[in-house]
């Protein structure tokens, strides 16, 4: 097959390509760094011709052009699989909504539950075999594109080519239109600044629990990043990676020689992940690097896969938790923050692993905009808050005041353990709350 001839045959302009979108269509932008740029701008230019266009995306790194107009919501509805700060702003405009999911199920959603009229994503330049790489996000893109009635790819020469499993590339034969975009720099995600004393205290407690040869998953945020930095400076060795999101902390560990993956029962020697976002350091590291391997999220997050990886260590953040052990990692009351993502997948998968441990970490307090200090450990979750991890699944909880393991504990034992890692200034009130809720033994105090 003459791939270059086929490429030229399908090459068009963004303005021409987006003419396939009709009012009422479901349009998919893909995931994170794969969201289109030139195509998004061209679609936004058609705003006044369209109504009821429903667009999907997730972990949005920049404000889409279709969401910028004052009356954008009259023409487009944004649907996010997982919210970033940008997604929250779109929802705040009244034109966006969140779609709940366990991230591991997303490919199946596309196979069985959703419609895709038009898919438009950024990809790498085509190789000599006619393939485009999904670059930093394997995620669910293969199943999303399989479901799409029309596929438009926007080539970006700055995207890194990432090696991976089936489901990481698309061939020119399966593409309807090719657009050569503006080649914008890949959007970067910062590491959240210098770690705080609380971050360091929590990270230290977790790192002490990690054995040589462990396999790691890190969530996004300051504390998991601090754990990564601390591991890079530790004496730990022969660690592996199997994670949903690949972040800069893994690069630090790799460059420090900590990641060999030689003890992994699956994908020995490879750092496996569903999608990546970070700084240019990360993008340079993963580009055509055989040490890393992208994979669809129904592989990376499958608890049956995780259970086969001995000493699997999962480290994630939380917003708050209650005295029953329910963990909220996605909303502040009715205000949506992020999503379930893969947290519950990894909480369950780590516990099923031989020697595995799941850690949920958070600071014991949060300071509001008015300067008031509030406990992240509360009697019951605030009305409207989401129980990301049910009490039956939670294992280790860590704050700067200590670490507890909730497995096997009754309600009163849980309350006692949880209160023990709350900020001291709130413990007496939490005891009183636990007494009123009938989950406190007077002899404990």
When pLDDT is averaged across residues 181-204 and rounded to a whole number, the result is 87
What is the Rg, in whole angstroms, of the alpha carbon atoms belonging to the chain?
Answer: 23
At residue 177 the predicted structure's pLDDT band, cuts being 50, 70 and 90, is: very high
Tell me what pLDDT residue 295 has: 97
Residues 182, 192: Cα–Cα separation, whole Å = 28
When pLDDT is averaged across residues 97-106 and rounded to a whole number, the result is 96
Using the predicted structure, report yes or no on whether residue 279 has a pLDDT greater than 90. yes
At residue 166 the predicted structure's pLDDT band, cuts being 50, 70 and 90, is: confident
Residues 123, 170: Cα–Cα separation, whole Å = 9
φ, ψ of residue 138 to 5 degrees: the values are -75, -55
- Model confidence pLDDT, tens digit, residues 196-243: 899 899 999 999 999 999 999 998 777 788 888 899 999 999 999 999
Question: What is the CATH class of 197-444?
Answer: alpha beta
Asked if 135 and 34 count as a contact pair (C-beta separation under 8 A), the reply is yes
Tell me what pLDDT residue 444 has: 54
When pLDDT is averaged across residues 266-278 and rounded to a whole number, the result is 97
- At the topology level, CATH places domain 6-180 in Glutaconate Coenzyme A-transferase (3.40.1080)
Q: In the β-sheet with 26-28, what is the strand arrangement from edge to edge?
A: 11-12, 177-180, 150-155, 118-123, 26-28, 53-57, 76-80, 96-98
Closest CA to 135 of 107, 109, 157, 120: 157
Residues 214, 354: Cα–Cα separation, whole Å = 11
SS3 216: strand
Using the predicted structure, report yes or no on whether residue 18 has a pLDDT greater than 70. yes
Element (H, E) at 313: strand 312-317
Residues 176, 9: Cα–Cα separation, whole Å = 10
SS3 287: coil
At residue 194 the predicted structure's pLDDT band, cuts being 50, 70 and 90, is: confident
Tell me what the pLDDT averaged over the chain comes to: 95
Any idea what DSSP says for residue 277? -
Tell me what pLDDT residue 1 has: 82
Residues 371, 263: Cα–Cα separation, whole Å = 48
- Model confidence pLDDT, tens digit, residues 285-301: 999 999 999 999 999 99
Asked if 124 and 155 count as a contact pair (C-beta separation under 8 A), the reply is yes
At residue 443 the predicted structure's pLDDT band, cuts being 50, 70 and 90, is: low
Using the predicted structure, report yes or no on whether residue 191 has a pLDDT greater than 70. no
- Model confidence pLDDT, tens digit, residues 20-65: 999 999 999 999 999 999 999 999 999 999 999 999 999 999 999 9
Residue partners of 410: CB distance under 8 A and separation at least 6:
none
The percentage of the chain sitting over the pLDDT mark of 70, rounded to a whole number, equals 99
Sequence ranges of the chain with CATH classification 3.40.1080.10? 6-180
Tell me what pLDDT residue 329 has: 93
φ, ψ of residue 305 to 5 degrees: the values are -75, -45
The pair of structure tokens assigned to 407 is 């497995």
Residues 338, 99: Cα–Cα separation, whole Å = 11
Pairing label, strands 396-399, 402-405: antiparallel
- Model confidence pLDDT, tens digit, residues 121-145: 999 999 999 999 999 999 999 999 9
- Model confidence pLDDT, tens digit, residues 305-327: 999 999 999 999 999 999 999 99
Sequence ranges of the chain with CATH classification 3.40.1080.20? 197-444
* Of 55-59, 258-262, 284-288, 439-443, minimum mean pLDDT range: 439-443
Measured distance between the N- and C-terminal CA atoms of the chain, rounded to whole angstroms: 77
- Model confidence pLDDT, tens digit, residues 383-409: 999 999 999 999 999 999 999 999 999
Q: Is the pTM of this model over 0.85?
A: yes
Is 334 or 346 the better-scoring residue by pLDDT? 346
Tell me what pLDDT residue 409 has: 96
Exactly one of 105, 244, 330, 400 is catalytic; name it: 244
- Model confidence pLDDT, tens digit, residues 68-89: 999 999 999 999 999 999 999 9
In the numeric block, the tokens 């002899």 are attached to 443
Tell me what pLDDT residue 229 has: 87
Tell me what pLDDT residue 60 has: 97
Using the predicted structure, report yes or no on whether residue 376 has a pLDDT greater than 90. yes
Establish how many alpha carbons lie within 13 A of residue 347's alpha carbon, considering only the half-sphere containing its beta carbon.
29
65 catalytically annotated: no
CA 401 to chain centre: 27
Tell me what pLDDT residue 223 has: 77
φ, ψ of residue 402 to 5 degrees: the values are 145, 180
Residues 273, 255: Cα–Cα separation, whole Å = 18
């Amino acid at each position: 097959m003459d791939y270059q001839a086929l490429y030229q045959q399908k090459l068009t302009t963004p303005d021409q390509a987006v003419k396939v979108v009709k009012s009422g269509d479901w349009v998919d932008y893909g995931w994170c760094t794969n969201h289109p740029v030139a195509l998004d701008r061209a679609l936004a230019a058609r705003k006044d011709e369209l109504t009821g266009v429903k667009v999907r995306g997730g972990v949005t790194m920049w404000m889409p052009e279709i969401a910028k107009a004052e009356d954008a919501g009259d023409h487009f509805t944004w649907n996010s699989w997982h919210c970033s700060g940008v997604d929250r702003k779109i929802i705040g405009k009244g034109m966006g909504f969140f779609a709940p999911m366990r991230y591991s199920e997303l490919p199946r959603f596309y196979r069985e539950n959703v419609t895709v009229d038009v898919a438009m994503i950024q990809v790498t330049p085509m190789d000599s075999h006619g393939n485009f790489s999904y670059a930093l996000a394997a995620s669910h893109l293969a199943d999303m594109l399989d479901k799409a009635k029309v596929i438009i790819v926007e080539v970006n020469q700055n995207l890194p080519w990432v090696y991976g499993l089936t489901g990481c590339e698309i061939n020119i034969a399966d593409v309807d239109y090719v657009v050569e975009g503006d080649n914008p720099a890949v959007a970067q995600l910062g590491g959240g600044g210098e770690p705080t004393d609380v971050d360091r205290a929590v990270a230290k407690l977790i790192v002490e629990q990690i054995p040589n040869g462990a396999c790691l998953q890190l969530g996004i945020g300051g504390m998991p990043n601090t754990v990564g930095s601390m591991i890079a400076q530790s004496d730990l060795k022969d660690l592996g990676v199997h994670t949903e999101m690949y972040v800069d902390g893994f690069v630090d560990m790799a460059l420090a020689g900590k990641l060999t993956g030689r003890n992994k029962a699956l994908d020995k020697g490879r750092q496996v992940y569903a999608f990546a976002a970070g700084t240019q350091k990360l993008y340079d590291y993963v580009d055509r690097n055989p040490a890393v391997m992208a994979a669809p999220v129904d592989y990376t997050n499958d608890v049956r896969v995780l259970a086969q990886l001995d000493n699997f260590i999962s480290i994630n953040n939380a917003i708050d938790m209650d005295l029953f052990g329910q963990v909220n990692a996605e909303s502040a009351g009715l205000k949506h923050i992020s999503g379930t993502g893969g947290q519950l997948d990894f909480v369950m998968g780590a516990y099923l692993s031989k020697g595995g441990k799941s850690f949920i970490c958070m600071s014991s307090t949060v300071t509001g905009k008015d300067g008031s200090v509030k406990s992240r450990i509360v009697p019951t979750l605030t009305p409207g808050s989401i129980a990301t991890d049910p009490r039956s699944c939670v294992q280790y909880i860590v704050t700067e005041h200590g670490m507890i393991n909730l497995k096997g504990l009754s309600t009163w034992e849980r309350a006692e353990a949880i209160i023990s890692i709350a900020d001291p200034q709130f413990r007496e009130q939490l005891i009183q709350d636990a007494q009123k809720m009938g989950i406190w033994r007077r002899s404990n105090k």
